[in-house]
Structure 1
Amino acid sequence: MARPEAAPKTPLGARLREIRRHFGDPERDQWAARLGVAKNTMASYERGDTEPTASVLAAYREMLNINLNWLATGQGEMLSSEGVAEAGLVAELAVEIRKLPPARQQLVLGMMRSIVNHELHK
């Protein structure tokens, strides 16, 4: 069982944790892998011990549609106004898929890729 998460030391750390919770509160190791960093690095970001690199911030923007002004300052909306509906759909799909056992998650991912490839090559 995972250890309880300590309260963030900084507002940026709190916002980073808020983003993860917004997207269904996946385990930190899964979340870190999705963003291309180590679990311990993500923990350090969310605790407020260190700040994310520019490449990690870019991943939040590109993969999750996070408004970087909100992330840095807390002003505005969490999600960029560009693609808010798409980001919400992705979050909803992620929440539902995470309810499945890992083997079924991979099956769903494979099915989605097949559908996309089919649509792209019509």
Structure 2
Amino acid sequence: MNLQEIGQRIHHVRTEITGLSQREFVRRMGINQSNISTLEKGQSLPSCFFLFSMHITYDVNLNWIMTGAGEVSCKTNSNSK
């Protein structure tokens, strides 16, 4: 597990997928803004609460966040049901 890569994927979701500032991105999730900065820098591992909130709020595939495998969005995965 590479924290730098996880941080880059979180940053990608925030900037490329949602287009939100750090403040607005975490506000919608109910997370402290200081946490997103350390996560994006690859300085810490995201908590279960952060991952769950990101999944629920932005429909992000958590397997992609943690491993880089699969699609960014769960919408692609749910269409195959």
| TM-score of the alignment, normalized to the shorter chain, above 0.5 | yes
**Larger radius of gyration, structure 1 or 2?**
1
| Aligned-residue offset at 1:49 | 0.6
Unaligned runs of 5+ in 1: 1-8, 84-122
Whether the aligned pair in 1 keeps the contact of 2:14 and 2:21 (CA below 8 Å) is: no
In structure 1, what is the equivalent of residue 29 of structure 2?
35
State, as a whole percentage, how many aligned pairs show the same letter. Answer: 24
Matched length: 74
- Spell out the pairing of 1:90-101 with structure 2 (5 A cutoff): none
Determine whether 1:53 maps to 2:47: yes
Q: Check if 1:62 corresponds to 2:42.
A: no
After TM superposition, the score normalised by the length of structure 2 is: 0.83
Structure-1-length-normalised TM-score: 0.57
Offset from partner CA, 1:74-93 (integer Å, 9 cap, x none): 0110001227xxxxxxxxxx
- CA RMSD between the two structures: 1.4
Q: Which structure's relative contact order is higher, taking Cα pairs within 8 Å and 6+ residues apart?
A: 2
CA–CA distance in structure 2, aligned partners of residues 23 and 82 of structure 1: 20
